[in-house]
């Protein structure tokens, strides 16, 4: 069963810190490595999928990354956070596979874009079945729009906006400067807005429909009031 931090990708209060888990695994408590996997499964899967755009292959990369991390656990020196070190391993493997298949296109980041911008909110709270259905459709729309982003933008967008990593940690994971992260994130937000608008365009005209039942109800109420006033005149 997944632990709370398996879902959030963060370490909850009272949980064993990553560095302590590493030390104990190296000391022979191999079973504790499961805690690391459950803690970072979601983050690592998301970033691998953002590069490969294939769920099955992203899962394979995730498995390979964990095996590589375990095999080289003694090489973790603590110069960066363990989660960053682990993410780098998975990103490296995903990029290697993507380049091998000709999927990954590197990008120039010297266009001088303004790097300010408002974050895109991806969380939608739902309650009723209708709201849940809408949320599912919205999530599908957002996911397909994110997948339409250029490769380098997708990865940074997922790490920053979906996983909530800081600019500094994202830069460390992607092995780029913080300015590159800011620039690519800004461009990704703009492209995502354009993509969402383009995909949602046909549905905008049908927003807030005034259905027959509502129309009948309003007409009935108004006629009743009008007739009442007329009778009293």
What's this model's pTM, rounded to 2 decimal places?
Answer: 0.60
Highest mean pLDDT: which of 65-69, 133-137, 205-209, 213-217? 65-69
Q: Where are the alpha helices (DSSP H) in the chain?
A: 4-8, 18-26, 33-52, 55-71, 82-100, 129-147, 151-157, 167-174, 178-204, 212-232
87 and 146 both lie in a single domain: no
- Shared domain for 86 and 143, answered yes or no, is no
Tens of pLDDT, residues 114-134: 333 444 333 434 445 555 555
Question: Where is pLDDT greater, at 43 or 230?
Answer: 43
- Do 80 and 17 lie in one domain? The reply is yes
Residues of the chain with pLDDT > 90, as a percent, come to 36
Please tell me whether residue 71 adopts helix, strand or coil conformation. Answer: helix
Q: Which of 80, 100, 120 is the last residue of a domain?
A: 100
Same domain membership, residue 145 and residue 96: no
Largest CA distance in the chain: 93
Q: Are residues 18 and 80 in the same domain?
A: yes
8 within domain boundaries: yes
The tally of CA atoms less than 13 A away on the side-chain side of residue 38 is 16
Residue 117 lies in a domain: no
Query: Has residue 119 been placed in a domain?
Result: no
Nearest 5 degrees, angle CA 187-CA 190-CA 193?
A: 150
Identify whether residues 15 and 96 lie together within a single domain: yes
87 and 23 within one domain = yes
pLDDT reported for residue 121: 38
User: Looking at the domain assignment, is residue 69 inside a domain?
Assistant: yes
Residue 38 and residue 79 share a domain: yes
User: Looking at the domain assignment, is residue 58 inside a domain?
Assistant: yes
Residue 200 has pLDDT above 70, yes or no: yes
User: What phi and psi, each to the nearest 5 degrees, are found at residue 66?
Assistant: -65, -40
Residue with token string 């091998």: 100
Nearest to 113 by CA among 177, 195, 167, 186: 186
CATH number for the domain that contains residue 65: 1.10.1740.10
pLDDT tens digits, one per residue of 170-180: 999 999 999 99
Output the CA–CA distances (angstroms, integers) from residue 30 to 14, 21, 22, 69, 87, in the order listed.
21, 9, 9, 13, 20
Average confidence (pLDDT) over 189-213: 74
Please give the pLDDT value at position 133.
59
Q: Examine the domain organization and report whether 10 and 89 are in the same domain.
A: yes
Residue where a domain terminates, one of 79, 100, 121: 100
Most confident among 7-21, 109-123, 145-159, 207-221 (mean pLDDT) = 145-159
Query: Which residue among 51, 79, 100 closes a domain?
Result: 100
Q: Which 8-state DSSP code applies to residue 146?
A: H
Residue 175 belongs to a domain with what CATH number? 1.10.10.10
Task: Note whether residue 19 is domain-resident.
Answer: yes
If one counts the domains in the chain, the total is: 2
Residues 34 and 83 in one domain: yes
What is the extent of the structural domain holding 140? 129-204
Q: Is the pLDDT of residue 6 over 50?
A: no
Q: Both 73 and 12 in a single domain? A: yes
Answer yes or no: do 11 and 82 share one domain: yes
Average pLDDT, integer, range 189-217: 74
- For residue 211, is it within any domain? no
């Amino acid at each position: 069963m997944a632990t709370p931090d398996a879902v959030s990708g963060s370490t909850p209060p009272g949980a064993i810190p990553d560095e302590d888990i590493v030390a104990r695994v190296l000391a022979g408590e191999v079973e504790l490595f499961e805690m690391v996997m459950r803690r970072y499964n979601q983050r690592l899967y998301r970033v691998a999928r953002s590069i490969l755009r294939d769920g099955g292959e992203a899962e394979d990369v995730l498995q390979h990354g964990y095996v590589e991390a375990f095999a080289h656990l003694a090489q973790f020196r603590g110069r960066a956070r363990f989660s960053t070190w682990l993410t780098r391993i998975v990103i490296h493997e995903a990029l290697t596979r993507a380049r091998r298949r000709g999927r990954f296109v590197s990008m120039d980041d010297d266009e001088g874009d303004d790097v300010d911008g408002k974050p895109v909110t991806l969380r939608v709270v739902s309650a009723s079945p209708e709201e849940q259905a809408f949320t599912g459709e919205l999530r599908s729309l957002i996911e397909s729009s994110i997948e339409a982003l250029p490769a380098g933008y997708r990865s940074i967008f997922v790490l920053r906006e979906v996983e909530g990593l800081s600019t500094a940690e994202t830069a460390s994971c992607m092995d780029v400067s913080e300015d590159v992260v800011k620039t690519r994130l800004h461009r990704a937000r703009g492209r995502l807005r354009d993509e969402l608008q383009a995909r949602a365009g046909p549905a905008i005209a049908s927003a807030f429909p005034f259905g027959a039942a509502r129309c009948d109800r309003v007409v009935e109420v108004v006629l009743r009031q009008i007739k009442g006033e007329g009778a009293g005149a």
